Amino acid sequence: MSTRIVVISDTQLPYEDRKAVKAVIRAVGDIQPDEVIQIGDLVDFPQPSRWSKGTAAEFEGSVYKDCEYAKRSFLEPLRAVFDGPLKVHEGNHDERARVYLAKYAPALSGTDAYNMENLLDFNGFGVELLPEFHQVAPGWITTHGHRGGIRLSQVGGQTALNAAKKFGKSVVMGHTHRLGIGYHTLGVGGQVSQTLTGVEVGNLMDMRKAGYLKGGTGQWQQGFAVLTVDTTHVHADTIPITQGKFIVDGYTWKV
């Protein structure tokens, strides 16, 4: 019996593409996978970060308001249509509040209150916080992608493949905002000893809200992924969102 997992990345609330997020949540409700993994950067936390340090933006906004928005816009509607296992990796944006406090106000940092699982009430929503590297199947790991010294590439799928070569395991990751799959085969004498797979699962952001792009367009792709796991065999599908639509199992969802 195979297991089906929907993998969502880089919503970066409140900078998400609201229509795309709602459509993906609808699809999860219709598909009813065995589990959902949000692979990191669920929230953006723009204020408490090194990017806003020393600017007026450092004192604007509210971590708590952003968390309430994330609960209302992602966790609550997702839980309204899906009651199965929901798992989340901490991304580099998700850790901003905790890291900022430890760096700039260490006397106040001896608390877990600013850990994302507490800020977003994971217990209340039945969410499991995953470790940095999670074995999703034998020889396969999920990770956000900002840890482990992974060499970045502008080509979709290549960063994950670089990680797979480095770790010796197939890798499913977010972080790059790109969508793609790459493969690397090892062997000798015509015999295949191992095929590594690198999967990047895209993003659900609205690039127009990403001020750091300074009016540019990132080499990013909207989308998500579906993993089908049958013991040691994993089949990965990347699901691009283009022209306001995406297709899973031959069915089309409109954004």
pLDDT by residue (tens digit) across 43-86? Answer: 998 866 555 555 555 555 688 999 999 999 999 999 999 999 99
Identify the weakest region by mean pLDDT among 25-34, 43-52, 129-138, 154-163.
Answer: 43-52
Closest alpha carbon to 118 in 59, 46, 63: 63
127 — pLDDT class (breaks 50, 70, 90):
very high
d(CA 72, CA 238): 27
The percent of residues above 70 in pLDDT, for the chain, comes to 94
213 — pLDDT class (breaks 50, 70, 90):
confident
Q: Which domains, from first to last, does the chain contain? A: 3-130+202-254 (3.60.21.40)
What does the DSSP assignment read for 192-251? Answer: EEEEEEEEEE-B-B-GGG-GGGTT---S--BEEEEEEEETTEEEEEEEE-BTTEEEETTE
What pLDDT score was predicted for residue 128? 98
- pLDDT one-digit tens code per residue, 223-245: 999 999 999 899 999 999 999 99
User: Which 8-state DSSP code applies to residue 151?
Assistant: P
> Is 120 a residue whose pLDDT tops 80?
yes
Q: Nearest 5°: phi and psi at 36?
A: -125, 135
Q: What kind and span of H or E run contains 10?
A: none
Average pLDDT, the chain: 93
Question: Which amino acid type is present at position 138?
Answer: P
